[in-house]
Chain A
Amino acid sequence: MLRRHLLLIGGTALAAPAVHAQSFPGGPMTLIVAWPAGGGSDIAMRLVAEAASKQFGVPVVVDNRPGAAGAIGHRAIVNARPDGLTFGMFSTAGVAAPYLNANANTIDELEPLAFFGSDPSAIQASKASGITSLADFVARARANPGKIKNGNDQPGGASFLAVASYEKMMNFRIQKVPYAGYAPTVTALLGGEVDTATVAIPDTIEYHREGKLKILGVSSPERHFMAPEIPTFKEQGFDVDVGSWRCIAGPKGIPADRLKILQDGLLAAMRTEEFATRARTAGFTIQPGNAARTLARWRADDALLYGILDEAGLVKARKH
């Protein structure tokens, strides 16, 4: 109860300077986040809520529904009343979830609204490992399959999916060691418990600059804006584009007129200069995109990740 109240106060405060009042909203909106408050996804979505609130002229309340690797929050989006006032965040791991968990909702049960952005994945090597470059890493991994230890998250998590994608696309095999989140993984990498890790650039760039670990490369078409000195995989001869993305989705069945206002409004909110600045300061790579682009990304990743999970023996809940 306390939480709801504080969130409402927060939402109202954010909504104060109402800019355009469009015809549709007519009530406060709810943005469901399937991850705990304070994490990366939560912060990203609070920035979206703030921008959307200005766009629609109503409070946009972030509602954290964490648990079951996102399945609980995603169900809350699917089951929300389709009046356009309730929507939520959906991400890479959500595409993979239904293959591991029979209770998780599939992409067919969600309505794509707008694309937030894709944080490029990267590979880091510990100082103790002596790995000098991406080519060196790949050569070692191919020569000794399963010997290099990679700090990772549990099967189906964003970091797991990234490394599994690398293994498939770049043809090598390493030992994935599960950690509960980025922070313990970075600790293990600094202490030399694992040889490599696959965590985000903002979480590791300072250690790289201090010489405590080495970022081997970033797997996106362009270099990361926070780490312009780190070359891309492509520059090093591996044409691989892997990242973990976030987007906004709603329940199926939102009336067409409302759906259009909602999709256009969210996209416009994320295209404002103020939003871009704040998101970049917090370390997010944003690439605002429309619903069609969102859906295309879902479909492409669904096909890619199914193959990866199937090979790893993780397709347990449903088959294609």
Chain B
Amino acid sequence: MHDLISNLAMGFGVALSLQNIGLCFIGCVLGTAIGVLPGIGPLPTVAMLLPFTFALDPTGALIMLAGVFYGAQYGGSTTAILARLPGETSSVVTCLDGYAMALKGQAGTALAIAAIGSVVAGMATTLLIAAAGPPLADVALLFQSADYVSVMLLGLVSAVVMAHGSVLKALLMILFGLLLGTVGTDVASGDYRLTMGLDMLADGLGFVPISMGLFGLAEIMVNLESMAGRTAIAKKVGSLWPSRAVLWQAFPAMVRGTVIGAAFGILPGGGPTIAAFSAYSVEKKVARDPSRFGQGAVEGVAAPEAANNAATQSCFIPMLCLGIPPNALMALMVGAMMVHGIQPGPSIITKQPELFWGMIASMAVGNVILVILNLPLIGIWVKLLQVPYAFLFPAIIVFCAVGTYTVDSSTGDVVLMAIFGVLGYVFRKLDCEPAPLMLGLVLGPLLEENFRRAMVLSDGDAMVFLHRPISLAFLVAAALLLAAVLLPSIRRGRQEAFRE
């Protein structure tokens, strides 16, 4: 305990230097900006900034890059709530209830809850890293390919739970998402699959064009069709600050979301995404009245937003404590360290204590900066909803097109977005939800890669999924969850499913 305090004191000494506060601020501002802009995510932004960090000291460089990463999580919910545009996989679920709240004139409350949920999760996870980082990092090493397969199955099952409609349709959407996920290069053989001879498909279908199309563009089409009498998304804006009752309702959800997020964030792969989907499913399961979900339930915003922010910060644990980057963004941070001659490894804590503790302290500083930055912005964002739709929707389309294009500088992706926009409209007409499809698309390639690897490693013995305790535990959890969803709907018949 004494060590922890003295270490944190050293960390704050580093993080509160004028230079590092400045860098943290720049990172947070940039992160918020790119989070708000659809399409441009933290990954290309950090990649762009990387050469500028060559001239900085490694601690300052990492503080700034980290600020971009978690700052983007704050901003990412904004377009999800205001325009049903998920900027990232992890904010797909926020669209469901966040946008429903905005339609009801509670956009301000939704944005504030998202920001508060993020800061609660951010602070709690920062403390967790400081207190228990190194032992938690070893957990990441316990997970092998077979275990990841089971974790992802659990994630996919949770997507069935969250769907508020026909279970069958949700399952079909997941399968469709998995199918779309098979496009691209076969990991094991290097063969191109379903690429139709197009190089742009060699690395699979991009998340950004598909989510922009399925969510953003489809929403615009539905709105244009149905809002004959309306001129803006939401006529009334309501109060900006959530009432005490709403906060009281949201707080337990934030705590649950934080715990789930922190746990999944440590695992490589789809950490924040599985975390957000799982947190939402848990909320729906523990809620007294699950039918509120999808209609603007405040827990449906609080939990996933807390979860994705907690996961964003806990994925620093394996990176800082073991030198293992659990995702592409952490890999860039390792790259930033290697440029300065710091090799990734478990010795970062002992050899670079200022860097380790400075980074951790900077996360606390960054979360404070982000709240100060984001809460006043809510008033501005909410005003956007009163802009006449005739002006707003072309602007959204332009932002979507530009955002999609910038990901890979590919016009093909813009075409892809348009195709999926039409498809999204058809799905809306058929009452099929796109969120399970997105999870299938994100987890499909990871599921396949890990499944095939697990089979190679076990010399083709499928029992490996039952023999490994971690894998077995997740499989049992997935089976229980599936049973909990399917049994009532089977018992009560089809009407119940349609009534929801």
Residues of A within 8 A of B (CB): 1-3, 6-7, 10, 36-40, 42-43, 46, 62, 64-69, 71-72, 75, 100-101, 103, 149, 154-156, 175, 177-181, 183-184, 186-188, 190-191, 193-194, 202-203, 205-207, 209-210, 212, 226, 281-283, 314, 316
A282 to B322, CA, bound (A): 19
Q: Nearest chain A CB to B355's CB is how many angstroms away? A: 14
On whether the beta carbons of B51 and A3 are closer than 8 Å, the reply is no
Cβ contacts B403-423/A at 8 Å (1 or 0 each): 001101100000000000000
B54, B145, B190, B457: most-surrounded residue (chain A CB, <10 A): B190
On whether the beta carbons of A38 and B188 are closer than 8 Å, the reply is no
Chain B: CB-nearest residue to A38: B332
Chain A: CB-nearest residue to B446: A180
B345 in contact (CB, < 8 A) = yes
On whether the beta carbons of A202 and B322 are closer than 8 Å, the reply is no
Instruction: Specify which chain B residues have a CB less than 8 angstroms from the CB of A179 in the assembled complex.
Output: 453
A197 to B393, CA, bound (A): 52
Interface residue ranges of B35-66 to A (CB < 8 Å): 40, 44, 46-52, 54
Nearest first, the 5 closest Cβ-Cβ pairs linking A and B are A206-B345, A37-B47, A68-B202, A38-B332, A155-B190
B479 in contact (CB, < 8 A) = no
On whether the beta carbons of B192 and A101 are closer than 8 Å, the reply is yes
On whether the beta carbons of A46 and B346 are closer than 8 Å, the reply is no
Instruction: Specify which chain B residues have a CB less than 8 angstroms from the CB of A43 in the assembled complex.
Output: 50, 335, 338-339
Q: Can you list 10 residue pairs at the A/B interface with Cβ under 8 Å?
A: A3-B44, A37-B44, A37-B48, A62-B51, A67-B408, A149-B456, A183-B331, A191-B143, A206-B343, A282-B339
Q: Nearest chain B CB to A103's CB is how many angstroms away? A: 6
A280 to B189, CA, bound (A): 35
Q: Residue B48 contacts which of A7, A39, A177 (CB distance < 8 angstroms)?
A: A7
On whether the beta carbons of A154 and B190 are closer than 8 Å, the reply is yes
Chain B: CB-nearest residue to A175: B456
A5 to B52, CA, bound (A): 14
Q: Nearest chain B CB to A279's CB is how many angstroms away? A: 10
Chain B: CB-nearest residue to A97: B190
On whether the beta carbons of A178 and B188 are closer than 8 Å, the reply is yes
On whether the beta carbons of B141 and A72 are closer than 8 Å, the reply is no
Q: Are A149 and B190 CB-contacts (below 8 A) given A72-B199, A190-B324?
A: no
Instruction: Specify which chain A residues have a CB less than 8 angstroms from the CB of B324 in the assembled complex.
Output: 183, 186-187, 190
Sample of 13 further A-B pairs with CB below 8 A, known A46-B51, A187-B268: A1-B406, A2-B48, A3-B406, A38-B332, A62-B51, A72-B202, A101-B192, A149-B457, A179-B453, A186-B324, A187-B318, A193-B144, A283-B343
A153 to B50, CA, bound (A): 25
On whether the beta carbons of A202 and B335 are closer than 8 Å, the reply is no
A42 to B48, CA, bound (A): 11
Q: Nearest chain A CB to B451's CB is how many angstroms away? A: 12
Chain A: CB-nearest residue to B339: A282
Q: Residue B200 contacts which of A1, A67, A175, A316 (CB distance < 8 angstroms)?
A: A67
Q: Are A67 and B203 CB-contacts (below 8 A) given A181-B331, A283-B338?
A: yes
Q: Nearest chain B CB to A224's CB is how many angstroms away? A: 12
On whether the beta carbons of B341 and A103 are closer than 8 Å, the reply is no
Instruction: Specify which chain A residues have a CB less than 8 angstroms from the CB of B345 in the assembled complex.
Output: 205-207, 209-210, 212
Q: Residue A155 contacts which of B46, B47, B189, B323 (CB distance < 8 angstroms)?
A: B189
On whether the beta carbons of A193 and B145 are closer than 8 Å, the reply is yes
Cβ contacts B325-352/A at 8 Å (1 or 0 each): 1001001101110111101111100000
On whether the beta carbons of B344 and A206 are closer than 8 Å, the reply is yes
A38 to B51, CA, bound (A): 8
Instruction: Specify which chain B residues have a CB less than 8 angstroms from the CB of A103 in the assembled complex.
Output: 197, 199
Q: Nearest chain B CB to A213's CB is how many angstroms away? A: 10
Interface size class of B (residues with CB under 8 A): 35 or more
On whether the beta carbons of B141 and A206 are closer than 8 Å, the reply is no
A101 to B188, CA, bound (A): 15
Chain B: CB-nearest residue to A314: B190
Instruction: Specify which chain A residues have a CB less than 8 angstroms from the CB of B192 in the assembled complex.
Output: 101
Q: Residue B50 contacts which of A37, A226, A281 (CB distance < 8 angstroms)?
A: A37
Instruction: Specify which chain A residues have a CB less than 8 angstroms from the CB of B336 in the assembled complex.
Output: 38
On whether the beta carbons of A154 and B140 are closer than 8 Å, the reply is no
Instruction: Specify which chain A residues have a CB less than 8 angstroms from the CB of B44 in the assembled complex.
Output: 3, 37
On whether the beta carbons of A154 and B185 are closer than 8 Å, the reply is yes
On whether the beta carbons of A100 and B338 are closer than 8 Å, the reply is no
Instruction: Specify which chain A residues have a CB less than 8 angstroms from the CB of B334 in the assembled complex.
Output: 183
B179 in contact (CB, < 8 A) = no
Chain B: CB-nearest residue to A102: B197
Q: Residue A71 contacts which of B188, B202, B340, B341 (CB distance < 8 angstroms)?
A: B202
A69 to B189, CA, bound (A): 13
Chain B: CB-nearest residue to A65: B409
Q: Residue A190 contacts which of B46, B141, B202, B328 (CB distance < 8 angstroms)?
A: B141
A205 to B44, CA, bound (A): 29
B187 in contact (CB, < 8 A) = yes
Instruction: Specify which chain A residues have a CB less than 8 angstroms from the CB of B430 in the assembled complex.
Output: none
B18 in contact (CB, < 8 A) = no
A66 to B199, CA, bound (A): 11
A65 to B51, CA, bound (A): 17
On whether the beta carbons of B338 and A210 are closer than 8 Å, the reply is no
Q: Residue A281 contacts which of B187, B202, B341 (CB distance < 8 angstroms)?
A: B341
On whether the beta carbons of A3 and B48 are closer than 8 Å, the reply is yes
Chain B: CB-nearest residue to A9: B52
Q: Are A36 and B47 CB-contacts (below 8 A) given A43-B339, A178-B187, A183-B324?
A: yes
On whether the beta carbons of B457 and A194 are closer than 8 Å, the reply is yes
Instruction: Specify which chain B residues have a CB less than 8 angstroms from the CB of A282 in the assembled complex.
Output: 338-339, 341
On whether the beta carbons of B347 and A69 are closer than 8 Å, the reply is no
A42 to B328, CA, bound (A): 14
B142 in contact (CB, < 8 A) = yes
Interface residue ranges of B430-473 to A (CB < 8 Å): 449, 453, 456-457
A100 to B190, CA, bound (A): 8
A137 to B45, CA, bound (A): 43
